[in-house]
Each structure stands twice: as C-alpha cells, then as structure tokens.
Structure 1
Amino acid sequence: MRYINVSKIKEGMLLGQDIFDTNGFLLLRRGQPLHRTYIDRLHKIGINGLYIEDELTDDIKITPVVKPETRMNAVKNIRTMYLKAASNWGETDNVVDEAVAAVQHIADEIFFCAKPIYDIYEFKTEKDYRYYHTINMTTIAMIIGTGLNMKKQELRMLGICAAFCDIGLNNYDQELLESSNSLSEEEINAIKNHPVTGFSMLSEKRGIHARIRQGVLHHHERWNGTGYPGHLKGDQISLFARIIAIADVYDALISNRPYRPAVMPYEAFEYIMANGGILFDPDIVKVFTRKVAAFPVGTKIMLSNGNKGYVKFNYSDCALRPVVKVFDRKEMKIIDLKNDPGALNLTIQSAAE
C-alpha cells in the first residue's frame, strides 16, 4: 500500500482505505477501483491524498493506532457537539457526554497499543477540516502522552482537553475563520480571545476537570512567552497545553488551508524540531520525535544515493531512519536504515513526487 497526492490519482487504481463522511457513513470501500466519478467526488470534498493498493507495495501494511471506525465516531460526535454548542451551549450536556465518551474510546485504544506511533496519513477534507483536525491533534497529543508515561485516566483527560480546546471558536463567524483574506487587527485580537471563551464555557459544565479547563486556556501559549492570552513562559504553561501546542501546529501544517497549501509531514516534523526551546517545550519535542514519524508508512521517498522507494516501517526510537523498500537497478530491495551496516551512509533526502 502506498500514499499518493490527490492530483496523482488515476482511473482504475484500487482504493487502499475505507472513506467515510463526517456522519460516519461509508462513502467508498477499500479495494474499490477508482472510477472518474469517484475521483471527481474526492477532488470536490477537498482531500489531500489517499492510500492505494498495488502489486508494487502489497507488502507495505498500514496499521493505524486508532481503528478507523473509532476515529470516525469521534469526528461525528465532535461535529455534533460543536454545531449544537454554536446555537445553545446551555443545552449540550448530552452531546458533550457523547463527545467525551468517544474521545475516551480513542484514549483507551492508544493506551493499550503496545508501541503507539503516529505514522499514517489520516483522511481529512477541507470542508470539515475543523472536526478532522480536532480528532487528529487529539490523537497525536495522546500518543505523545504515552511517551510521557501517562496513566490511562490522565491520557483520557489530555484527550478531552485537546478535543475541547477550540470550543471557544464557536462564538466567531466560521466564514471568517476559514477566510483566505488577510484579517484586520481587530479580527485577529477577537479570535485570540477564544481560549478565554472556551475556558468560560467549560466552567459552566459539571464534571470538566480543572486541568482540562486550564489546558484549554493555555493551549496557544508558547514556551518563550510569545503566545496568548497570558504570555506565559516555560513551566508556567500547563503540561496538557504544552503537548497540545505541538500536536495542534503539526496537524495544521500538514493540512490544506484556505490561505496556504499543506506541507509534507517531514517538513512539519522539522519545523517542530527547530522550535524546541523557542515555541515548544524542548523535552516534549524530544518525545514528539519518537512518537510521530517524519515519513509515514507508504510515503514515497528519495535516498541520498538517488534511489527512490517507499517507507515500509518506522522505528519509534529512530524516526529519521525507517525501513524502506527501494528500486535499485531495476529490482526492489528492503533497506533497514537504522540497523543495516551498509546503509549507515544513506539518508532520506526528501519525500519524492
């Protein structure tokens, strides 16, 4: 199985993953040949790319930490909660409880996974970016949490905090948030108040732990004090918020937005690394580099010797040196960049088109 950009999809390719809408309904089933009507539909809903199956990469297996049905149930419940919160937050207790339960289910799957690492491309659409992004960054945050040896209950709280951190954005014009135009200083300052709004909204709900509310309030603070709303520095920022800051920025960078295209995962990975000790907690960045793959499984890559191939397996303790399947003089070869003595001089130069 391999990942391709949506612009590279051709008729007849076999779909390598189930495609769901935000209500959890199956749109396309894994193994279906992609006909022109399907391809046009995928373009229309604004996906970045998808996995396809072929003989070349049939030995490359994608194993998500969170089951697709668990993830899509969470997307559906988060969407329902956010939409109802926008009209009447005071009467959302039931949908809040359902969203919490959906996030806890993700937390439990991550907690009981032997070696959780985020090394796949998650399906998302531009139209429903907010809901997919919420669950993606929630998943990434909790995977980082396992690297900090969090117990199950703390991991659940971290996930709920991540899933609720942008609830305060409901008070703002959604077209404004998705606009490709430059915002005025007044509009930017208003949006920067959403952590305070979210904190206040969650304070109205029973059963929302103080650490969750604090994480929501702090999630846009930055290690060097340049964040908002309180310009907090270093350990003044809550642990949950320091984790979520990294997960939030990483998933946003690898997503298409109205004002810029997505970057490749390895580019977002390098951005996070470069800002350790500046924007982000350097110790958590170190955990991030073990728990999030620079080159997800199925990525087409080019090695420093010019050979091209695909990532087959990622090591959680060596994110930049995975096992790869490459073309070498018209034959396929498996190279373990971490453990093969003959490969120590090779590096992944880039993700190839």
Structure 2
Amino acid sequence: MNEFRNVEKINPFKYILAVDIPYLNLEKGIIINERIKNTILANGIFVIPVYENKAYDMAILDEEQLNEGYYEIKNELTRLERNKYFDKKKLKEISDNISKKMIKNKENLIYLPLKKLQEYDEYTYTHSLNVCVVATLIARNMGLREKMVRKVSFSALIHDIGKTKISNEILNSPNKLNDEEFRIIKNHVRYGYEIALKNKIIDEDVLGGILYHHEKFDGRGYLYNKSDLEIPLVARIITIADVYDALTSKRSYKKPWNNYETISFIIQNVEKIFDKDIVSVFIKIIGLYPPGTKVMLNDYSVGTVVAARETNELQPLIQIGECLIDLKQENKYILKVFKE
C-alpha cells in the first residue's frame, strides 16, 4: 500500500513514485532522486503518494556521504577557478573515504545511488563524484590491490578538473559546438594534467587517468590517439564510468538516457571505445538491467529494478508497489524494458 509523503521531507533514493505525473514526464515506478524531488516541488506539488524503496538500505554509499562528497568537491573546484589551486589533501580524503567504503562493502546485491544535477552549472561537480563512485566500484571488482583502487578513485574524482579553465558558455551550450569550441573542450584533458602537476600531483597512474580518459580503444579518441593497452589502466576504467554517468545525466543539449539504453550502448562499443575485460566487470556490477530500469515481467506485472546482483546480471531485484521480487527465487523473468 502506498503512503503520502511531504515532498520536502523525502530523502532522495528512499522512495519510489506511486503515480504518473504526465505533465512532468514522470512515470509511476521512478526512483525519486534529488533532481526529481526538486522538479516536483518547483511545479507546486508538495504531497505525493510513494512506495518505500526496499533496496535503500543496500546502497553502496549513503546519502550523507554523497552529499558531503558533492559539497567538498564543489568547494575545491570553485577555489580552483578562483586561484588555480585546490586542497589536494581534502580531495584525496573524499576519494579515500569512498574507496574504503567500497572495499569494505562485500554485499552481493548492489544499489548504486548517484547524485544528479539540479542546475546545468552543477554538472562538473556531480559528474566528478559519480565517476569516482562508479570507477572505484569497477576497480574493486577487478580485484586490484587497495593502493591501486585508491589511485583509480582519486584520479576519477579529479579527471575533469581541466574544465575549470573552460567557460560555462561553452560547457553548457545548448547548441552543437563549432570546430573551435570543440577544440577547446578537447583540451580539458591537457589542462587537467597541467593543473594536477601545479598542485603537486605526480603519481603517473593518477595523471594518466586525467590525461587519457577520452582515448578510445580503437585509437579514435583524443588528444593522443592511443589505442588498446597503450591507454593506461586507470584511464580505461574511468572512460567507462565517465560515459555511463554522462549518458544518464541531463545536460543543456540533451535529455538523459535511461540505464538500459546506456548499458546497451556500452556493450555495443566494446573494443571501439571500451576495453572488453573492464566492460565485463562493469556489467557484472551494474547488471544488464541497472537499478531504476522500469520492466515488465513474464506475468505482465510492471515494476522497477531496485538492486543488481553481482553474480547474475539477468536476475536483479524488482519492486512492484510494496512487494520486492527476487528473480533468482521466483519463476519469473524480464519480458520487456520500458523507455523512460
């Protein structure tokens, strides 16, 4: 049975929308994140019917840690824009806390909440945090040593610091970039590398993640047209996390893709953009039907994927109303995926 909740008091990710709100393009079954919550409030809706998200307690990171990380990186990148320096120790502390939590968490079921922007100029902050979370999770599941996982985490957190040297007019342009604007955007990887060096970051693995995260496995990326294993491991991990978050985020020039479309894109671009071995690990974590995907089961019931199962990409946990369905335990399977 659904309950009515004051929207202002809803914890992001803890509840699932229990009705359609057509004029806001919000469908019943969507997990209410911070952006959706604020969209509802901005349209004068203050009480809504919801279901409690049964996977909320399975979250790999809690809401408090997400928010703390977001505000810390926002402060440091804002400082960087002003005076060309940031507190390296503070950012390292954020990434280390995330990696420690990931390494400690050995749950087979994963619910991965990611912070999504409210305003376009927040994109770099939320994106940096999300890429850090996803890249760290990949590194952990690859079985890398803790020291290397922490390097991946730190490099992912600061992978886009070069964008602080690019104007918001270009970063948030709703139009297709011209050749000169695209040249400037591409140079953010070099700017980031230079900023890291100025801030006394000298670890080659961390620097490689910043400089090469837009290289593609087939050699068609930028800036250096590296391919295959020429691309450092940290960069190959960050590339997948970077694309996953970018495609599932709303930008000034595009709507967000749903999780299922994004996973499909990543699979289709194995050995074109992505390293197949790292994609294999990523899919085992996120699942073929990531949390938030709206699906129909073979009994024609409709629900929302709320947790992925690391050992079985095809049998996630589905929530239908207040009921939690474990496809591994039930004689049911996913018949159809809905586009959001």
Tell me the TM-score range normalised by the shorter chain. 0.7 to 0.9
- CA drift at 1:311: 2.9
Partners of 1:296 and 1:164 lie apart in 2 by: 25
Paired AA for residue 84 in structure 1: R
Report how many aligned residue pairs link the two structures. 315
> Where does 1:275-314 land on structure 2 (aligned, <5 Å)?
275-297=269-291, 299-314=293-308
- 2:38 alignment partner in structure 1: 42
**Conservation of the 8 A alpha-carbon contact between 2:38 and 2:118:** no
**Conservation of the 8 A alpha-carbon contact between 1:45 and 1:125:** no
- Tell whether 2:172 aligns with 1:178: yes
- 1:222 alignment partner in structure 2: 216
Match for 1:99 among 86, 91, 97?
Answer: 91
- CA drift at 1:295: 3.5
- Tell whether 2:117 aligns with 1:129: no
- 1:347 alignment partner in structure 2: 334
The percent of aligned pairs where both chains have the same amino acid is 26
**Conservation of the 8 A alpha-carbon contact between 1:254 and 1:268:** yes
- Tell whether 2:183 aligns with 1:189: yes
**Conservation of the 8 A alpha-carbon contact between 2:95 and 2:157:** yes
- 1:338 alignment partner in structure 2: 328
Partners of 1:348 and 1:150 lie apart in 2 by: 36
Partners of 1:116 and 1:102 lie apart in 2 by: 24
Partners of 1:109 and 1:241 lie apart in 2 by: 22
- CA drift at 1:316: 0.6
- 2:70 alignment partner in structure 1: 75
- CA drift at 1:338: 3.5
TM-score normalised to the size of structure 1? Answer: 0.79
Closer/same/farther in 2, CA of residues 39 and 79 from structure 1, 3 Å limit: closer
Partners of 2:83 and 2:143 lie apart in 1 by: 38
Q: C-alpha offsets along residues 194-230 of structure 1, whole Å, 9 cap, x if unaligned?
A: 1111112212232541211111111000100010000
- CA drift at 1:245: 0.4
> Where does 1:317-332 land on structure 2 (aligned, <5 Å)?
317-326=311-320
Partners of 2:336 and 2:181 lie apart in 1 by: 41
In structure 2, the residue corresponding to 1:241 is in which secondary structure? helix
Closer/same/farther in 2, CA of residues 196 and 312 from structure 1, 3 Å limit: closer
- 1:157 alignment partner in structure 2: 151
Closer/same/farther in 2, CA of residues 103 and 71 from structure 1, 3 Å limit: same
Extract unaligned runs of 5+ from structure 1. Answer: 3-9, 20-28, 32-37, 47-51
In structure 1, the residue corresponding to 2:69 is in which secondary structure? helix
Paired AA for residue 71 in structure 2: K
Closer/same/farther in 2, CA of residues 348 and 284 from structure 1, 3 Å limit: farther
Paired AA for residue 125 in structure 1: L
Partners of 2:89 and 2:258 lie apart in 1 by: 35
Closer/same/farther in 2, CA of residues 325 and 192 from structure 1, 3 Å limit: closer
- 1:86 alignment partner in structure 2: 81
In structure 1, the residue corresponding to 2:313 is in which secondary structure? strand
Paired AA for residue 347 in structure 1: I
- Tell whether 2:210 aligns with 1:210: no
- CA drift at 1:84: 1.4
In structure 2, the residue corresponding to 1:263 is in which secondary structure? coil
Partners of 1:155 and 1:86 lie apart in 2 by: 28
**Conservation of the 8 A alpha-carbon contact between 1:300 and 1:309:** yes
**Conservation of the 8 A alpha-carbon contact between 1:62 and 1:120:** no
Q: C-alpha offsets along residues 260-298 of structure 1, whole Å, 9 cap, x if unaligned?
A: 100111111111111111110000000000112444446
**Conservation of the 8 A alpha-carbon contact between 2:109 and 2:307:** no
Structure 1 range deviating more: 228-237 or 207-216: 207-216
**Conservation of the 8 A alpha-carbon contact between 1:134 and 1:162:** yes
Match for 1:108 among 72, 78, 100?
Answer: 100
**Conservation of the 8 A alpha-carbon contact between 1:323 and 1:336:** yes
Q: CA RMSD in A?
A: 3.2
Extract unaligned runs of 5+ from structure 2. Answer: 17-33, 43-47
**Conservation of the 8 A alpha-carbon contact between 2:55 and 2:111:** no
Match for 1:200 among 163, 172, 194?
Answer: 194
In structure 2, the residue corresponding to 1:302 is in which secondary structure? strand
Partners of 2:326 and 2:35 lie apart in 1 by: 35
Partners of 2:82 and 2:41 lie apart in 1 by: 25
- CA drift at 1:339: 4.8
